[in-house]
Structure 1
Amino acid sequence: MINLIIIWCLIILFILQPGIAHDGAVAGAQLFMHALLPYLLPYIILTQWLLKIPTESRSPKSWKRYVKAYILGSFGGFPVGAVTVTEMVKNGELSRRESGYLLAACHAPGPMFILGFVGTELFGNTMSGWKLLAAIHIANIIFFLLALLLMRNSQTKRETPKQKNNAKTSSSPLLDSIRDSTNVIILVATTVIFFSALGNVLTSSISSAFTVDLGITKTLLLAIFEMTSGVQSATDHFFTSPVFPFLIAAIISMNGLSIHMQVFVIAKTADTPLLPYLISRLWSIITVPFILYLIL
């Protein structure tokens, strides 16, 4: 019943404010084309291709599989970590419990996004982008090591990954990787555009109903719904503020519902537990701005 009420309220808001919804959707589409697609698509295809190449045997050492998941997942951008972990589960390289911990640890924005879009275009300084990227990965590596410790001391070591049937191995891994990457890109584009439009409509509605600061309201709502739109709004309204870089770090660490929906949809295909992922988001929101403060 509550879901129906929320849905109908949002439908009514979109009908009453078609222009604002349109502007939000256009802004989301432009951000996707400019800030996400060029940085995300090549890495998703290459990661998928690498994971689909048949191997002679699976590595018997757990830490090698975990490092592989971290390297491929953490440096590809959202939601490449989820794609990597679920693909490794389907390949028989990870168990369900392992995938839950690794989904949480192997989740970071791509270096090209941080250095190219955030560092160069928002901060106006590539070195600041490098420092933010370092803060994100320091926090992630600490969480990754904690996850390894938990997996070692839990029943994970008694749960063996299910081996994939080699008879079903694809003879065209590149073509399959392009096909699967298309599905991921469509998912990313859909969530980014939808939540950007939703954030714009809600910002307008709240600003009309209450006396609030438009910059703060818009940045907060967009950060909750769509990360890329949130950092763009923060740049528009808080660029001269001394807290600006830490605000950007917090927004990127929070990710927004758009990215969370992408991860949830992808993780569902492998029945991956999501509680560690939710805990890791809280960890990042707290630690990444603090580490960035120490680095700066």
Structure 2
Amino acid sequence: MEVKQQSSPWAAAIPALLSFFAILALILDAGTAVSAAGRGLQLCLETVVPSLFPFLVAARLFTGSGAAQWCARVLGPVMGPAFGLPSNGAAAVVLGLLGGYPVGAQTAASLYGSGQLTRKEAEQLLAFCSNAGPAFIFGMVGGLFGSGKIAAVLFAIHIISAVLTGLAFRTRGRQVPAATGRAVQPPSKQLDFSAMMAGAVKTMGLICGCIILFHVITAFLTRALGTWMPPAVEIGLSGLLELTSGCSRLPQLEAAGLRYCMASGFLAFGGLCVWLQTKSVIAPYGLTGRHYLAGKVIQGTIAVLLTWGIQVLFPSWLPRSLPAAAFPNHTGLLRATAIVTALFLCAMGIWCLQLRKKAGKEEALDV
């Protein structure tokens, strides 16, 4: 006889109570919500959309044109021995490091959707393939510290921590042929650009919605707890909730060493906002991302430890005395880096598409 497990009444009561208090807060303090939502919307329009949307389009073109298979042939020898994954997963790792959150997760989900990865492989890949991109690290974080050298060190730490996290999630005893990849059906020779653009726009809307929502949540928490909470704890909570908000407040900290460690931790963890973005882009493919949050916690811990170690062993790499923050002067670099890299990926995808069409014509002539 089967016994049905009854769900706890708190399972339904807690979301209802949270919704009630959220609505009550919006009614009683609408000004805070409007102001925070405005800042989030401004951030999306001025920074997030220009730097991320080209990558969302490029990632879809990259995976749909066959360029991902070219990337697999080049980097395939590393994926198997290092991570226990097929070579097809290399595209998600590369695009995740170039495009920023959540391009790596989007690419991994697309590879799974097209049959180039199994569900288990895609879930494992999600633990370390989604990362902050160079446009954000050099453009915003480098601007906050007023130094491209510091941004380069933090970016190197970010890459190393992602690789070490991937090694931590490697399936023991698993041997995957690195050079051959998986037998999959080739992508369509006719790319549906309208569907590709529609998918990128939908993903961009979900990302911006998450950013605006977490700006409002962070504003209310800061207003409620900021009166007694130490500045470092308040900034840490802000960064754990939303990456950009936490990074933008780092100049408020006096200790340079703490700034570096918190910046590195924020970049590696990504924040709950990025986690929600990732869930939104992988959900249509039926992926759960069950390893994602654990991977981000591990990567964040590794990044903080590496940052602390570099400050001890190589203090000149991360100097204690910092120049004045120069973020406004680096916003152009953020956009330019993002657009140039995205255009390169688009060109690579179009080039691979043309090569495939040419090969198809040659096969037809041979027949």
Range of TM-score over shorter length: 0.7 to 0.9
Partner SS state of residue 172, structure 1: coil
2:128 is equivalent to residue 105 of structure 1: yes
Residue in 1 aligned with 2:59?
Answer: 47
Structure 1 position 291, deviation (Å) = 1.6
Residue in 2 aligned with 1:212?
Answer: 229
User: For residues 137-188 of structure 1, what are the alpha-carbon distances to aligned partners after superposition, in whole Å with 9 as ceiling and x for unaligned?
Assistant: 10111222344x4176299xxxx9795697xx47334333222111111111
**Structure 2 vs 1, CA of residues 251 and 239 (structure 1 numbering), >3 Å: closer, same or farther?**
farther
User: For residues 208-235 of structure 1, what are the alpha-carbon distances to aligned partners after superposition, in whole Å with 9 as ceiling and x for unaligned?
Assistant: 6xx333x345423322321111111223
Q: Which amino acid aligns with 2:297?
A: L
Q: Percent identity?
A: 22
Residue in 1 aligned with 2:157?
Answer: 135
Whether the aligned pair in 1 keeps the contact of 2:275 and 2:293 (CA below 8 Å) is no
Q: Which amino acid aligns with 1:201?
A: F
**Structure 2 vs 1, CA of residues 8 and 220 (structure 1 numbering), >3 Å: closer, same or farther?**
farther
- Structure-1 separation of matches of 2:108 and 2:30: 39
Whether the aligned pair in 2 keeps the contact of 1:40 and 1:110 (CA below 8 Å) is no
- Structure-1 separation of matches of 2:87 and 2:207: 29
Whether the aligned pair in 2 keeps the contact of 1:254 and 1:284 (CA below 8 Å) is yes
2:294 is equivalent to residue 279 of structure 1: yes
Residue in 2 aligned with 1:228?
Answer: 244
Structure 1 position 287, deviation (Å) = 0.6
Whether the aligned pair in 1 keeps the contact of 2:33 and 2:219 (CA below 8 Å) is yes
- Structure-2 separation of matches of 1:18 and 1:217: 26
2:140 is equivalent to residue 117 of structure 1: yes
Give TM-score, length-normalised by structure 2. 0.70
Gaps of 5+ in 2: 1-12, 77-84, 311-316, 318-367
Q: Which amino acid aligns with 2:137?
A: I
Structure 1 position 48, deviation (Å) = 1.0
Of 238, 243, 263 in structure 1, the residue corresponding to residue 253 of structure 2 is 238
- Structure-2 separation of matches of 1:20 and 1:162: 54
Give the 5 Å matches for 1:139-158. Answer: 139-147=161-169, 149-150=170-171, 153=174
- Structure-2 separation of matches of 1:45 and 1:152: 37
Whether the aligned pair in 2 keeps the contact of 1:86 and 1:270 (CA below 8 Å) is yes
Whether the aligned pair in 2 keeps the contact of 1:90 and 1:164 (CA below 8 Å) is no
- Structure-2 separation of matches of 1:54 and 1:231: 36
2:50 is equivalent to residue 38 of structure 1: yes
Give TM-score, length-normalised by structure 1. 0.86
Residue in 1 aligned with 2:20?
Answer: 8
Q: Which amino acid aligns with 1:94?
A: L
Q: Which amino acid aligns with 1:228?
A: T
- Structure-1 separation of matches of 2:167 and 2:257: 32
Q: Which amino acid aligns with 1:64?
A: S
Structure 1 position 253, deviation (Å) = 2.1
Measured on the aligned residues, the alpha-carbon RMSD in Å equals 2.9
- Structure-2 separation of matches of 1:111 and 1:151: 32
Q: Which amino acid aligns with 1:136?
A: H
Q: Which amino acid aligns with 1:282?
A: V
Partner SS state of residue 47, structure 2: helix
Partner SS state of residue 285, structure 2: coil
Q: Which amino acid aligns with 1:260?
A: W
User: For residues 265-285 of structure 1, what are the alpha-carbon distances to aligned partners after superposition, in whole Å with 9 as ceiling and x for unaligned?
Assistant: 222222224232122111112
User: For residues 221-255 of structure 1, what are the alpha-carbon distances to aligned partners after superposition, in whole Å with 9 as ceiling and x for unaligned?
Assistant: 322321111111223x2155431111111122221
Structure 1 position 191, deviation (Å) = 0.4
- The aligned length equals 286
Residue in 1 aligned with 2:352?
Answer: none
Gaps of 5+ in 1: none
Structure 1 position 68, deviation (Å) = 2.4
- Structure-1 separation of matches of 2:235 and 2:246: 5
Q: Which amino acid aligns with 1:265?
A: S
- Structure-2 separation of matches of 1:136 and 1:16: 41
- Structure-2 separation of matches of 1:112 and 1:189: 17
Residue in 1 aligned with 2:205?
Answer: 186
Residue in 2 aligned with 1:256?
Answer: 271
**Structure 2 vs 1, CA of residues 161 and 10 (structure 1 numbering), >3 Å: closer, same or farther?**
farther
Q: Which amino acid aligns with 2:275?
A: H
